[in-house]
Every structure is written in structure tokens, then in C-alpha cells.
Amino acid sequence: MAASKCVKLTGALTQELLKSVDNVLFDCDGVLWHVDSAIAGVSEVVKLLRKKNKWVFFMTNNNTKTQELYAQTLCKMGFETMKEEVFGNAYCTTLHLKQVTCLNGGKVYLIGGKALSEELAKAGISYVGPDPVFGAMSDWGSVPLDPDVKSIVVGFSEHFSYLKLTKVLCYLKQRSPTTGPRTRYREGALKPKVVDNHETKRSF
């Protein structure tokens, strides 16, 4: 096992580190707080960093809350925060869709919760889903598809189902090799094998 490269920050080493950075990124759950209680001393550290003119930002891969809700949670925990300092999974997903994926007016098929829906709506991104589960297993391969869907977003969902997963595969199957990753299917099956093709765009 490789030796740990972590070094305890004390004295001059702390000052050296602070002089070398302008921005500090914090994870949230389990770093700033545990369950519903802030970890002792962390809010004082954040205040000290800001006093030293450091930009502090908060990151999380939890997509069950919007940017605003996470900012409110941080404030309740004793961290004075503006929403612009929070980069959650749901918010960053919309940034990627707008700035990288380039939907060009296309829609998103969404499997996820309320926060993802709200962030997409605020960003002006049209989406379909989350949709109800219906039909028997024999109907899954012929579920209706929206021809304007150009991208798929899958986040945490309490109502995730094999039917919704099948619908995702159907959307993947209908895309041409020039606009998305190539997929191969066995006869009569919906089990794709994604083929890495560096000459085609990897996103829709």
C-alpha cells in the first residue's frame, strides 16, 4: 500500500498554503455537517478563509436539492452563503447541457426528482419526464418516444423502474451513429453494447 501523502497543516505550512491559493472548494455532506448538525469548528474555518480574501465555494453530488435550497441549508448550518457559491449536481447538469451539449432547441428525457426538474425549467431547457410507469413487460419495447429528445439525464429517483430504463435504451437506439454513441443489439433484445467511436460525438 502506498504511503499517504496527506500532511497535517500547522504553523508556517498553513500560511504557505493560504498564500498559494485564491479559491477553496468544500464538499458538503460529511465534510461541513453530519446528518443535521454542523461539524464543530468548520464554520469558523470558512469565516477565516473569507477574512483572508479567499473565495469559498460549496460542491455536492446530491441532486435532490436545487442551488437555492442548498444555500438555505448552508445558512441554517451557520455558513453564510449566496446561491452563486453553491455548485450542486442538479445545477451543474443544466450548465453542461447549455454550455457543452448544445441541445439546439432539443429536449431532455429526464429520470430524476423535483430538484432536477426545477433546475432544467429555470435554465429554459425543455424536458419530458419524469413519467408514470404503465403497461406490461411486453409493451416496454414499444413505448412512445418524443422525436425532439436530444439528451438523457438520469439522477436519483425514488420511482426508478426497468420500464424507464428501457425507455432510455429506446431513445439511444433511435439515435443515428453520427449524432450519438453507436449501440449494438441482439435480435429481439434491448441490451445495448456501447461502442467507443472517437470519430462520432459522444453526447447527443
Supply φ then ψ for residue 85, to 5 degrees.
-95, 0
Cβ neighbours of residue 103 under 8 Å, at least 6 residues apart?
Answer: 97, 125, 150, 151
Q: How far apart are CA 58 and CA 48, in angstroms?
A: 16
Say whether 148 is catalytic: no
Q: How far apart are CA 70 and CA 84, in angstroms?
A: 11
Say whether 27 is catalytic: yes
Q: Roughly what angle, to the nearest 10 degrees, separates helices 114-122 and 89-96? A: 40
Supply φ then ψ for residue 26, to 5 degrees.
-115, 135
Cβ neighbours of residue 7 under 8 Å, at least 6 residues apart?
Answer: 13
Of the listed 27, 139, 148, 196, which one is catalytic?
27
Q: How far apart are CA 118 and CA 101, in angstroms?
A: 19
Taking a C-beta distance cutoff of 8 angstroms, is the pair 131, 152 a contact?
no
Of the listed 29, 36, 146, 196, which one is catalytic?
29
Which residue numbers are catalytic?
27, 29
